[in-house]
Chains A and B, each alone.
Chain A
Amino acid sequence: MPAVSALYRDDLADAGLHVIGVSQFRTTEAATRDFVDSKDLTFPNFYDPEAAVASAYGIRGVPTYIFLDREGRIAHRSQGARGIELIESVLNELRAE
């Protein structure tokens, strides 16, 4: 998440792209806050105690990235640790659409 935060801070925010962090899986809201503060995550985050959102999107592990296009449809899914280049390229493709 620190890499995503850096990308968001340096590029995505200025490009008007949204990044929403969802924290869940055997954690607490306090632990989430501590992590956000310690890693200086600048993009919006919320705590999902019941993993309701994760279940709605079929999340089976973390990290998992869901890319939504301009129309609010799922354009791409990526599960597991991936390079920050993939996130940037997919978002740029969606932005070019």
Chain B
Amino acid sequence: MLYFLRSLVAFRRVAPVAQVQTPHVIGLPMPRSRTTTSAIAILICALASVFLGGCAPNTAEPGGSDHSATVQVLLPTSENPAAPSGDAPAAIPPTDSPTLITATDTPIAATDTPAPATYTPRPPPTYTPRPAPTREGDGEREEAVTFQAQLLDGSVLNLSDTLGTPTLLAFWAPW
């Protein structure tokens, strides 16, 4: 406020009566007098002083410049469930905090993530293994018919005498 008052005093010294001429037609350049230009400059300076003067005390408060620390305190965590008491500036979340921007800009997973495709998995194939192929004669073997015969050399052959040794019976004819 001190800067604002000083600006007003200076303004009155330069131009006791502010003569701000408004253009007749909006948008057309109008010639400005020296007094008008000075008044505008002083007004801008006064506004800047007011703005800077109003912001200066907040930045000067302890902990005010540390946004990350402030955000950490405000985070609704289980470590700090209680809301900050009072109207201290530290309790006001800064609007330009990167953390808050991130929080507001982060898309909601439920809306941005497409719903996963639902499907019913196929049951595993079941099969019964086929029995191994067997050769002719495999499996349960038939008992051979025993016989007794007289060989061409006059000796007697008893098939039961060949037990214990693989035997080939060759049926043939002399033609």
Contact = CB atoms under 8 A, between A and B. Distances in A.
B168 A70 contact: no
- Secondary structure type dominating chain A contacts: mixed
Of B163, B168, B173, the most chain A CB neighbours within 10 A belong to B168
B110 to A, nearest CB: 72
A70 B165 contact: yes
Interface string B143-175: 111110111110101011011111111111111
A36 B172 CA distance: 11
* Chain A interface size range: 35 or more
* Chain B interface size range: 20 to 34
B19 to A, nearest CB: 128
Given A73-B144, A74-B144, A24 B137 contact: no
Contacts, number: 144
B136 interface: yes
B146 A72 contact: yes
A5 to B, nearest CB: 9
Contact of A64 (B142, B147, B163, B171): B171
A91 B162 CA distance: 14
Contacts of B135: 76
Interface of B: 135-137, 141-147, 149-153, 155, 157, 159-160, 162-175
